[in-house]
Structure formats: C-alpha cells, structure tokens
Amino acid sequence: DSGVTQTPKHLITATGQRVTLRCSPRSGDLSVYWYQQSLDQGLQFLIQYYNGEERAKGNILERFSAQQFPDLHSELNLSSLELGDSALYFCASSMGTGTTPGNEQFFGPGTRLTVL
C-alpha cells in the first residue's frame, strides 16, 4: 500500500458528461501528480500541483482541469467526455516541489474511467 488513495475505483459514464476523480496524497507529501494510462498512449503525465499551486503541465486536454485543496487532496475534473477518454487515471505524490529529481513518486491504485 503506497499510502495514496483514489476514489472512485471505477466510473462508468456517457459521452458528453463530466466527472470528478479524487486523490489523497501520502501523509506529508505536498506534490500531487496526475497520469493517464491508456492502451494506445501508455502512461502519460497530465499535471502536477504543489501545495495548492499548479507546477507543471503535460499532455492535458483543455477539457480537463485539476486543483489541489488546502488539505492537499486533489481533484481531476474531466468534462465533455469522449470515448477516447476511457483510461486508467493515476494520482501520485512525492515529497518536495518537483525540483529534486531523485524523489520517487508513489502511485495510488487508480480510477478506471469508462465512457460509453
């Protein structure tokens, strides 16, 4: 158990809908990262937050957004969902701001999103 929790485990919804994925980092970790794992794209970095502020953006679509709250949990919001958004979404956390390359990231169990 990594100490990173994600809810829900599974989410099934329809095209055009909006969903929210939730993540709680390990105790003491201030950085939260979101990744998408799909069959065609593999594991891709979406976005990072540190202590409530956005720190880095990856291949995140404009229809997707995220935020990190004062209690350090994070939410990833996916809107206007398309079939191609079906994937496993992982949250990870780490110590520090992301400027220390040696800090490993600890991953949650993921949320499997199915868009029908």
Binding site for another protein (CB under 8 A): 2, 4, 6, 33, 35, 42-45, 48, 55-58, 90, 92, 97-102, 104-110
Q: How far is the CB of 22 from another protein (least distance, A)?
A: 15
Q: How many angstroms separate the CA atoms of 71 and 18, rounded? A: 24
Return the number of the residue (59 or 80) whose C-beta is nearest another protein. 59
Query: Considering the complex, what minimum distance in angstroms separates the CB of residue 28 from another protein?
Result: 16
| 36, 88 contact by CB (below 8 A) | yes
Nearer to another protein, 18 or 57 (CB): 57
Closest CB to another protein among residues 78, 93: 93
Q: In what order do the strands lie in the sheet with 19-24?
A: 5-7, 19-24, 74-78, 64-68
Nearer to another protein, 64 or 90 (CB): 90
- Considering the complex, what minimum distance in angstroms separates the CB of residue 109 from another protein? 4
Shortest separation between residue 64's beta carbon and another protein, angstroms: 15
> At CB < 8 A and 24+ separation, what contacts does 96-102 make?
96/30, 96/31, 97/30, 97/31, 97/50, 97/51, 97/55, 98/31, 98/48, 98/50, 98/55, 98/56
